Amino acid sequence: MSEKLTVSVSPHLHTGVTTQVIMRDVLIALLPAVVASVVFFGLRALLVEVLCVAVCILCEWAFEKICKRPVTVSDLSAAVTGLLLALNLPVGIPLWQAAFGSFVAIVMVKQLFGGIGYNFANPAITARIIMLVAFSGTMTSWAVPNLVDAVSSSTPLAILKTGEGTLPSLMEMFLGARDGSMGETSCLALLIGGVYLIARKVITWHTPVAFIGTVLVFSALLGQQPLYQMMAGGLFIGAFFMATDYTTSPPTPAGKAIFGIGCGIITVAIRVWGNYPEGVSFSILLMNILNPYICKWTQPKPLGGVKE
Amino acid sequence: MKLHGIHVPHRKNTVDSTPVRMPVPAVVTVPMSMNIGAPAKPVVKAGDTVKVGQLIAEAGGFVSAPIYSGVSGKVKKIDQLLGSNGRYDTTIVIESDGQQEVYEGITPPQVTDLDSFVEAVRQSGVIGLGGAGFPTAVKLKVKPEQVEEIIINGAECEPYITSDTRTMLDDADSIIEGVRLLQKYYAPQRVIVGIEDNKPQCVQKMKEAGRDLSGYEVAALPAIYPQGGEKVLIFNTTGKIVPEGKLPIDVGAIVINCTTLAVIAKYIKTGMPLVEKVVTVDGSAVAKPQNVIVPVGTSMKDVLDFCGVKSEPKKVLYGGPMMGISVASLEAPVMKNTNAVLAFAEKEAQAPVTTACIRCGRCAAHCPLNLMPASIETAYVNNEPEVLKELKVNLCMECGCCAFGCPAHRPLVQVNKLAKAMLNQYNAQQKALLEKQKEKETKEAAANV
């Protein structure tokens, strides 16, 4: 027996769940939404998704190379950001705009703040908002879904807001046969992914339940149609995939509940009283900014800790 | 309220392995610092002959414990050995004659009252055998009216280890005898045996063995690590929280490991002090995982030679994988508080790659004491002892739940250890500054008069 032994501090066991495993799970959870986007919006959806993922990975790699930092693309977080951003875009988005958005997400929102774990706001959400402001035309021009004959070119939320046009049925809403960003329309696909994430313990139920529940209750209180409010817009993708981002949301169940409720209230407030038909992205960004305070308010109390 | 914890793989491969006595090793190396507190002082010198159970080192202070020889033979030398804590420790090296002759002076101690009971525990050389190594007599030197609950720790929540399990299955009567002694001298309201429910055979055995006792109960606790942690066990059996800076006895509780209690009972019956240990030998490098009985001071190399290795050990631990200490050399001896020798092959020995914290909150969500390891790490890196104080890093028991689940492989336990040292140093500096200031003020006051 040789005498070369590894010496390290305990514990000497690990779950095996690394950042890469978590991000891979998020990608797996988004697969149903990817499939739905292709079913309802055609192959161009896939093209935009591949492009955004590729640009995000490339930007992360290039930025880290230039800054002489360790390259972290293998943790797959850039791929998650790229895919989430793509799913939040309309299918007809010009490719250069999608690429620009990916650059904003990775370089401006994520890497300039220090990379994974240090960004204060969700990169995909923030990039989408910047694109919405910068390219308001293309970002709000909705292609007609494949499976519906309707010639409508406005989202259910816009119809709800203006009262013009025909609303899709609740079943069409649930399956995703409606106008909207290519990954947000299918509640079914997003629900499958969300349940997968909860089952894999990547996220907990607190944020999505608080977020969606608040939208239901608050919109009902304001005399809106709660089921449409729940399934329209980007609520499902936001509640399951964006408001649950580790770095920009609180870690404790109480914090997650506050975060989700806050998101829900802001979403409905923007939808009902704001200029924009949709408020999910803004609500998450605003709550991202409040996140450090929520973390502070909900800080766990050490067991047996004595105040001095 | 439920304390956080983690589900660890149990890997209790040796649960059915009745301990076998290993052939006497040729040499034993007995360290003087096996217990928390002052090291023992050798009372033998090179050339002396010793027998099994003979005193070779006396307690070096109040918080200390005497040491007895586990072999018969000749003291070869008093030596220095680099311990796993990085410090040199005095050791007594004894060459065994293989005869295992028992010391003539072995007689059962006279135990008639509380004082003589505590004195007997002191003489037995027993320290916390669950791994902590705190001299048991010190823990038992309390007024009986203080004691409300005595908790017998049979949780054995670390993966792999089954030595306490074997004590409960093979020697339940000694544990019960110990319970009788504790009930006689401390008259606690409750004696609770805490056992994780992944050992139903132990739960049953301990229930049966103690069926004639009153004020005795067996608690089958969920197998959630660190169930056997002192504060965790107290909370889960009594609902009491031990406040910061206080001892279990301050809330009326005493926790004693089941094997510790069995050894004490046997010493009082026979007079044979703690000279040997049951250790679980397991791990991916071990050919035949089993429980073995070895004299204290037996080298890990001898233990592994006896059990055989199927691949070269690359990481060898004292104790379990969650809190065990990795050794730098196989010369490291089995100590009083060693309950397992785990040898791992190349795969488990590889150091993981640490990546950036993604603030997932798993560390805080897993911490049984509700600490925030990620924030502690930041405060430590930023050299902020005041923040460390607020974050209560001193409460950390280093159970490893945080690092076990960290997706970024942050060395959180290591940082907590360093952070505690930083805080201690800071507190000492603050205290010294305060004293200096006081001194100055007194001097000035004196000068003004």
* Residue A140: CB atoms within 10 Å: 15
Residue B423 lies in a domain: yes
**Contact between chains at A10 and B321 (C-beta distance less than 8 A):** yes
Q: What is the pLDDT of residues A183-210, one digit of tens each?
A: 999 999 999 999 999 999 999 999 999 9
B256, B174 contact by CB (below 8 A):
no
Say yes or no: B181 and B86 in one domain.
yes
Chain B residues close to A304, C-beta within 8 Å = 231, 241-244, 246, 369, 395
Q: Which of A11, A19, A304 sits opposite B231 (nearest CB)?
A: A304
Mean pLDDT of the region A27-53:
96
**What's the CATH number where B315 sits?**
3.10.20.600
Closest C-alpha to B1, from A300, A203, A307:
A300
Q: Where are the beta strands (DSSP E) in B216-268?
A: 216-221, 253-257
Interface list for A 76-115 with B (CB within 8 A) = 77, 115
Q: pLDDT band at A37, cuts 50/70/90?
A: very high
DSSP symbol at B327: -
**Smallest Cα distance from A5 to chain B, Å:** 5
Chain A residue whose CA is closest to B405: A15
Size of interface A-B (CB pairs under 8 A): 157
Residue ending a domain, among B323, B349, B375, is: B349
Q: Does B413 contact A15 at a Cβ distance shorter than 8 Å?
A: no
Q: Among B328, B344, B405, whose Cβ lies nearest the Cβ of A7?
A: B328
Q: In Å, how far is A292's CA from the nearest CA of chain B?
A: 12
pLDDT at residue A57 greater than cutoff 60: yes
Domain A19-297 has CATH 2.60.40: no
Q: Do B9 and A13 touch (CB under 8 A)?
A: yes
Instruction: Tell me, yes or no, whether B294 and B261 share the same domain.
Output: no
Q: In this structure, are strands B73-82 and B276-282 parallel, antiparallel, or unpaired?
A: unpaired
Chain A residues with CB inside 8 Å of B389's CB? 308
Residue of B nearest to A256 (CA): B361
Residues of B in contact with A14 (CB under 8 A): 352, 403-406, 409
- What confidence score (pLDDT) does residue B314 get? 94
B187 phi and psi, to 5 degrees? 45, 55
Helix (H, G, I), strand (E, B) or coil at B224: coil
Listed by number, the residues of chain A in 239-268 with a beta carbon closer than 8 Å to a beta carbon of chain B are 246-247, 250-252
What is the DSSP code string of A104-140? IIIIIIIGGGTSTTT-SS-HHHHHHHHHHHHTHHHHT
Tell which wins on pLDDT, A146 or B382: B382
Residues in chain B with CB shorter than 8 Å from the CB of A8 are 315, 326, 351
Nearest CA to CA, how far is A105 from chain B (Å)? Answer: 17
**Beta-carbon separation of A14 and B330 below 8 A:** no
A222 alpha-carbon distance from chain centroid? 26
Same domain, B315 and B405: no
Considering the domain architecture, whether residues B333 and B409 belong to the same structural domain is answered as no
B336/B127 Cα distance (integer angstroms): 7
Q: Determine the average pLDDT of the residues in A226-239.
A: 94
Please tell me if residue A9 touches chain B, with a CB cutoff of 8 Å.
Answer: yes
State whether B297 and B392 are in the same domain: no
Per the DSSP assignment, residues forming a β-bridge with B55 are: B68
Q: Which site among A2, A12, A256 would you substitute to test the B interface, given the most B Cβ atoms closer than 10 Å to its Cβ? A: A12
Same domain flag for B285 and B426: no
Q: Any chain B CB within 8 A of the CB of A16?
A: no
Min CA distance, A244 vs chain B (Å)? 10
User: Are B130 and B163 spatial neighbours (Cβ–Cβ below 8 Å)?
Assistant: no
Closest C-alpha to A15, from B378, B321, B320, B161: B321
Structure tokens at A102: 């990916």
**Given an 8 Å threshold on Cβ–Cβ distance, is A10 in contact with B325?**
yes
Q: Verify cis geometry, omega within 30 degrees of 0, for the bond prior to A11.
A: yes
Q: Which of A6, A72, A118 shows the shortest C-beta gap to B315? A: A6
Residue A3: pLDDT band with limits 50, 70, 90 = low
Q: Which among B3, B159, B409 has CB closest to A13?
A: B159
d(CA A20, nearest CA chain B) in Å: 8
Cβ contact (<8 Å) for A10 and B327? no
Q: Which of B1, B307, B359 to mutate to test the interface with A (most CBs of A within 10 A)?
A: B359
DSSP run (H or E) holding B204: helix B200-209
Structural domain boundaries, residue B393: 362-444
- Report the pLDDT value the prediction gives residue A146, as an integer from 0 to 100: 54
A252 → closest Cβ in B9, B330, B361: B361
Provide the token pair at B292.
Answer: 């073995």
Answer whether residue B237 is part of any domain.
yes
Q: How confident is the model at residue A1 (pLDDT cuts 50, 70, 90)?
A: very low
A251–B344 C-beta distance less than 8 A: no
Return the amino acid letter for B281: V
Q: Do the chains contact at B403 and A11, CB–CB below 8 Å? A: yes
3-state secondary structure of B300: helix
Give the 3-state secondary structure percentages of chain B, helix then strand then coil, rounded to 5: 35, 20, 45
Query: In this structure, is residue B124 part of a structural domain?
Result: yes
* Chain B residues inside the 8 Å CB shell of A301: 370
Do B207 and B285 reside in the same domain of the chain? no
A204 to chain B nearest CA, in Å?
A: 11
Q: Which of A207, A194, A205 is nearest to A259 (CA)?
A: A207
Our count of domains for chain B comes to 3
pTM of the complete model: 0.91
pLDDT on residue A144: 57
Among the partner-chain residues A21, A252, A302, the one whose CB lies closest to the CB of B395 is A302
Q: Is A247 in Cβ contact with B355 (below 8 Å)?
A: no
Residue A20 has a CB neighbour count (10 Å cut-off) of: 15
Structural domain ending residue among the three candidates B270, B291, B307: B270
Taking the C-alpha atoms of residue A71 and residue A136, their distance in angstroms, rounded to an integer, is 34
User: Does the beta-carbon distance from A9 to B309 stay under 8 Å?
Assistant: no
Considering the domain architecture, whether residues B321 and B419 belong to the same structural domain is answered as no
Whether A152 has a pLDDT exceeding 60, the answer reads: no
Does any domain span residue B6?
A: no
Report the residue of chain B nearest A18, measured CA to CA.
B407
User: Nearest-CA distance from A127 to chain B in Å?
Assistant: 20
Q: Which residues of B touch A302 (CB under 8 A)?
A: 244, 369-371, 391-392, 395
Beta bridge partners of B6: B225
* pLDDT tens figures, A84-142: 999 999 999 999 999 999 999 999 999 999 999 999 999 999 999 999 999 998 998 88
Angle subtended at Cα B211 by Cα B207 and Cα B217, rounded to the nearest 5 degrees:
55
Which chain B residue has its CA at the smallest distance from A70's CA? B355
Burial class (CB in 10 A: 0-12, 13-18, 19+), B219: buried
Closest CB from A10, A15, A302 relative to B392: A302
B318 and B206 in one domain?
no
| Rounded to 5°, angle at Cα B194 from B189 and B195 | 155
Q: For residue A21, give how far its alpha carbon lies from the nearest alpha carbon of chain B (Å).
A: 8
Contacts of B283 in chain A (CB under 8 A): none
Do residues B154 and B178 touch, judged by C-beta distance below 8 A? no
Q: Who's near B308: CB < 8 A, 6+ residues apart?
A: B286, B287, B288
The C-alpha atoms of residue B21 and residue B40 are separated, in whole angstroms, by: 27
Q: Which residues contact A142 (CB under 8 A, 6 or more apart)?
A: A90, A92, A153, A154, A155, A179, A180
Give the neighbor-by-neighbor strand order of the sheet with B73-82. Answer: B27-31, B88-96, B73-82, B49-50
More confident of the two residues B317 and A154: B317
Model pLDDT, residue A81: 97
B208 and B68 in a common domain: yes
Put simply, whether A140 touches B (Cβ < 8 Å) is no
**Closest chain B residue to A115, measured at CA:** B356
Q: Is residue B286 part of a domain?
A: yes
Chain A neighbors of B361, CB-CB under 8 A = 246, 250-252
CATH number of the domain encompassing residue B35? 3.40.50.11540
Partnered with residue B28 across adjacent β-strands are B94
Q: List the single residue in A2, A115, A302 with the smallest CB-CB distance to B370.
A: A302
Whether the upstream peptide bond of residue A32 has omega within 30° of 0, thus cis, is no
- Which neighbouring-strand residues pair with B68? B55
The shortest CB-CB distance from B356 to any of A6, A9, A115 is to A115
| Cβ atoms of A157 and A270 closer than 8 Å | no
The CA R_g of chain B, rounded to the nearest whole Å, is: 23
pLDDT level of residue A150 (50, 70, 90 thresholds): very low
Among B270, B305, B337, the domain-final residue is: B270
Any idea where the domains of chain A sit in the sequence?
19-297
> How much is the pLDDT for A143?
64
In angstroms, the CA B275 to CA B283 distance is: 25
Q: Tell me, what DSSP letter sits at residue B371?
A: -
Do residue A251 and residue B349 have CB atoms under 8 angstroms apart? no
Task: Give the residue among A159, A229, A190 at the shortest CA–CA distance from A32.
Answer: A190
- Other beta carbons within 10 Å of B431: 10
* CA dist., res. B66 & res. B41, Å (int): 8
Please check whether residue B3 lies inside any domain of the structure.
Answer: no
Given a cut of 70, whether residue A247 has pLDDT beyond it is: yes
Q: What DSSP string describes chain A?
A: --S-----PSP-------HHHHHHHHHHHHHHHHHHHHHHH-HHHHHHHHHHHHHHHHHHHHHHHHTTPPP-GGG-HHHHHHHHHHHTS-TT--HHHHHHHHHIIIIIIIGGGTSTTT-SS-HHHHHHHHHHHHTHHHHT-PPPPTT------S-HHHHHHH--S-PPPHHHHHHT-SSS-TTTS-HHHHHHHHHHHHHTTSS-SHHHHHHHHHHHHHHHHTTS-HHHHHHSTTHHHIIIIITT-TTTS-SSHHHHHHHHHHHHHHHHHHHHHSSSS--HHHHHHHHHHHHHHHHHHTPPPPTT----
pLDDT tens digit at each of 449 positions of chain B = 889 999 999 999 999 999 999 999 999 999 999 999 999 999 999 999 999 999 999 999 999 999 999 999 999 999 998 887 778 899 999 999 999 999 999 999 999 999 999 999 999 999 999 888 899 999 999 999 999 999 999 999 999 999 999 999 999 999 999 999 999 999 999 999 999 999 999 999 999 999 999 999 999 999 999 999 999 999 999 999 999 989 999 999 999 999 999 999 999 999 999 999 999 999 999 999 999 999 999 999 999 999 999 999 999 999 999 999 999 999 999 999 999 999 999 998 988 999 999 999 999 999 999 999 999 999 999 999 999 999 999 999 999 999 999 999 999 999 999 999 999 999 999 999 999 999 998 988 888 87
| Alpha carbon distance B338, A290 (integer Å) | 49
pLDDT for A158 equals 82
For chain A, the straight-line distance linking the first and the last C-alpha, in angstroms and rounded, comes to 53
Which residue on chain B is closest to A77 by alpha carbon?
Answer: B358
Q: How many other CB atoms are found less than 10 A from the CB of residue B92? A: 27
